[in-house]
Structure 1
Amino acid sequence: MPEAAKNSSLTATSLPTAGTYYPQLEDIIAAEKRLRSVVNRTPLIRSQNLSEQYGANIYLKREDQQVVRSYKIRGAYNKILSLSTQQQRQGIVCASAGNHAQGVAYACALLGLKGTVFMPVPTPAQKVQQVRKYGKDAVDIRLVGDTFDEAYHQAKVFCEAQQASFVHPFDDPKVIEGQASVGVEILDQLDQPVDLMIMPVGGGGLASGLSAYFKAQSPTTQLIGVEPEGAASMSSSIATGNNQTLAEIDTFIDGAAVQRVGEKTFEICRQNLQQMLTVPEGKVCSTMLQLYNQEAIVVEPAGALSIAALDSLKEEIRGRTVVCLISGGNNDIHRTEEIKERAMLYEGLKHYFMVNFPQRAGALQEFLANVLGPEDDITHFEYSKKSNSSKGPALIGIELNKKEDFQSLLQRMEEQRVRFEYLNDKPDLFRFLV
């Protein structure tokens, strides 16, 4: 089983050099005041379950209860308000995997502006529908490319051709300052010092703004960023000292999956974050199910990142006050089976095998009777009979009651001389067959 998270400790660098952008306290405070009439002041709640589990005081900042169910409205609205009347009239353009698009759409509808939103083709249908709902007749949606970066490129080309104003999802001063307003609320809501502030990192806009505000107002707070293991662009960039473009990413955690973080956000995060953690996608799925079952909280994959990282910090946070930011709750119910599947694979409860059965009567019955344990369950079975062969391959998925049962399952397969190939540890073959 993979580790819950990979930990990369960072050393804060010196203050930014002259000419580089860094969020100023007065701009962040001004943005928070500007946004009060538009955004929800989301709850900061103490999680009894998580606090008991980790022996800490763990608070959840519920941006999933924001007006568009994510923090993205903060930066989008703040940026659009900063534009001149002429710029607003020429149109608003953005690229987004979903949440930023919803924020831009809501702002455009509220202000009566024409907007064009570019979204990757694999964006969950629920997020596309939400953009349509918030944007009403003010927003045109264009699905292009397989990743955010491809949609972003097309949006920039369109924006230049139309001379419209581009609202970047993360690498823009006004967007960063708007996202930082969530930090103003956290420190205002909590009547005790925050020992650790844990935040998700995608393109870095939230982490940049939030960390800058905490650096100024709560300098003793340890600032920790969390990325998906399959899209660790900020971790890779900070580790190498240069902003890196990842060749490939896993887009499952779509709200935090970017191939390249922002130039401004990279510099700010490199200065401010003391740690970067990466969390496997399967661990995130397990956390999503845990939050639903124990806290009655529905989050999207990116929204669970900060809580998914707690296991790797359990010794560090004991007895301390921790704030985890839940960044969004725009989860598509149609993804539930995939989320459950990824969670069970990560937890060691679901295993796939390619089994060669003898082509004779009773072979499968013998497998069921002599190999499966009393609490094991076959949840996937595909059999391919070959008329010119005495054996036929079958793809079998087996669900266990507890992960410790796996070794005894393998032992019984060996004892019964079952010819098989284990697929879980062969990712390329696994993705092709399952």
Structure 2
Amino acid sequence: MPLHIETPLVTSRPLSLAAGRQVTLKLEALQPPGSFKIRGMGAACEWHASRGKRRFVSSSGGNAGIAAAYAGRELGIAVTVVVPETSTAHARELIRQQNAELIVHGKAWHEANALAMSLLTEHDAFLHPFDDPLLWTGHATMIDEAVRQGDRPDAVLLSVGGGGLMAGVVEGLRRNGWGDVSVIAVETIGADSLNQAAQAGERIALDAITSIATSLGAKQVCEQAFSLLQSHPVRCVTVTDQAALAACERFLDDHRILVEPACGASLVLAYANAPALANFQNVMVIVCGGATATVDQLRAWRTS
């Protein structure tokens, strides 16, 4: 049995009314560790465990680390997670809950990642939070499920951090004969490495992450995500932090599910009936989840 669960695909009446079109929700927030990350991370951990690795080492702003820690505990393998100083106290506690070793290092993810890489021995497996084909293949299972669960969408709406979710979704679309379904890729301003790469025509690196959506805090997207700009119909959109926070609160009222701003970024477009949705009548939103935010944290961000 895989470490992830099959999640519901439901039609959202509130979001459909707001967007003026059918909006379905792939509810990845219901995964046991709180986000879609367990799909790819679980697949990668099982692959490495079958090859005799004795420890998993990962770097993460939160959700990937939580997923790695969950997978390691389920498989009976030790896990070390290195998080940057920007990770929330709640995210750190969730990693510790899974009995993983937690190390806090660096002002941004790339610094935490460098330390994680330095810890590796021949008996360890490194678990990248987004740039690994094992992850993409695992994430693609959400599209396998969606094919069984509902109608073919015109577009898939999702959030982009390092690009692992987008890479997995496109892999899933293609292997199910949905390769012409568009992807609407949403980022918060200040963590918009894909959007800026699209504008520049090259895979640039941001000088710094200034968005509160730290789960989207990759200064540079993976090469696979950038290449998909040329090989798949992708629309890049940015939203503000405040809009993402407002969407999180509204989604909590509408569906009784708490998500973090990185996920709220995608919900903004549906609630606002954004121009990027034009010409699409059936939009599937990947409610990617995120366990790193609390209600109190959302309120604090809204007033900061």
Number of corresponding residues: 301
TM-score, structure 2 normalization: 0.92
Distance 1:194 1:92, change over 3 A: same
Shifted more, 76-85 versus 175-184: the winner is 76-85
Question: 1:304 aligns to what SS in structure 2?
Answer: helix
Is residue 4 of structure 2 the alignment partner of residue 45 of structure 1?
A: no
- The answer as to 2:145 corresponding to 1:188 is no
1:125 aligns with 2:62: no
- Equivalent residue runs for 1:396-411 within 5 Å: none
Q: Does 1:225 align with 2:185?
A: yes
Corresponding position: 1:323 with 2:284? yes
Deviation per residue, 1:195-238 (Å, 9 max, x gap): 11101110001101101221342134221111111111111122
The 3-state SS of whatever aligns with 2:298 is helix
The one-character-per-residue Cα deviations of 1:287-310 (angstroms, maximum 9, x if unpaired) are 111112233221111121211123
Is 1:341 the counterpart of 2:303? The answer is: yes
Instruction: Identify the residue that residue 101 of structure 1 maps to in structure 2.
Output: 65
Whether 2:113 is the aligned partner of 1:152: answer: yes
User: Which residue pairs with 1:248 in the alignment?
Assistant: 208
* Counterparts in 2 of 1:69 and 1:269: CA distance versus 1, 3 Å: farther
Q: How far off is 1:255 after superposition? A: 1.2
CA distance in 2, matches of 1:174, 1:79: 5
Does structure 2 conserve the Cα–Cα contact (< 8 Å) formed by 1:96 and 1:148? yes
CA contact (8 A) 1:54 1:318 kept: no
**Alignment-derived partner of residue 72 in structure 1:** 37
- Name the structure 1 match of 2:159: 200
The answer on 1:213 being equivalent to 2:172 is yes
Q: Does 1:308 align with 2:268?
A: yes
- Return the offset for 1:119: 0.5
Asked if the contact 2:235/2:276 (under 8 Å) is kept, the reply is no
Distance change in 2, residues 1:318/1:58 (3 Å): farther
The answer to whether the 8 Å contact 1:87/1:164 transfers is no
Q: What's the secondary structure of 1:58's corresponding residue?
A: strand
Structure 1 residues 75-94: aligned runs within 5 Å? 75-83=40-48, 85=50, 87-89=52-54, 91-94=55-58
Distance 1:175 1:315, change over 3 A: closer
1:325-372 superposed Cα distances (whole Å, 9 cap, x missing partner)? 111141223313223326xxxxxxxxxxxxxxxxxxxxxxxxxxxxxx
- After superposition, the C-alpha distances for 1:360-395 in whole angstroms (9 at most, x for unaligned) are xxxxxxxxxxxxxxxxxxxxxxxxxxxxxxxxxxxx
User: In 2, distance between residues paired with 1:209 and 1:315?
Assistant: 21
Residue type of the alignment partner of 2:169: L
With over 3 angstroms needed to count, the CA separation of the structure-2 counterparts of 1:264 and 1:222, relative to structure 1, is: closer
Q: Distance in 2 between matches of 1:315 and 1:245?
A: 25
Change (3 A) 1:201 1:286: same
Contact kept? 1:42, 1:62, Cα under 8 Å: yes
Task: Determine if contact 2:269/2:277 at 8 Å carries over to the other structure.
Answer: no
Note if contact 1:170-1:205 (Cα within 8 Å) is conserved in structure 2.
yes
Q: CA offsets per residue over residues 241-261 of structure 1, 9 Å max, x none?
A: 221111011141011111111
CA distance in 2: counterparts of 1:93 and 1:319, whole angstroms: 41
2-structure distance, mates of 1:68, 1:237: 31
Q: Is the 8 A contact 2:170 2:179 kept in 1?
A: no
Give the partner amino acid of 1:155: A
Cα gap change, 1:326 to 1:144, in 2 (>3 Å): same
Q: In 2, Cα distance between the equivalents of 1:88 and 1:151?
A: 22
Q: Does 1:114 align with 2:78?
A: yes
Offset at residue 318 of structure 1 (A):
7.1
Which structure 1 segments of 5+ residues have no match? 1-35, 343-434
AA at the equivalent of 2:286: L
- Matched-pair contact (CA < 8 Å) for 2:56–2:124: yes
SS of 1:231's partner is coil
Q: Following the alignment from structure 2 to structure 1, what is the Cα–Cα distance between the partners of residues 128 and 241?
A: 26
Which runs of 5 or more residues in structure 2 are unaligned? none
Change over 3 Å in CA distance of 1:80–1:286 after alignment to 2? same
Q: Contact (CA 8 Å) 1:225, 1:273: kept in 2 or not?
A: no
Identity %, equivalent residues? 26
What secondary structure is seen at the aligned counterpart in 2 of 1:288?
Answer: helix
Answer whether contact 2:4 2:42 (CA < 8 A) is retained. no
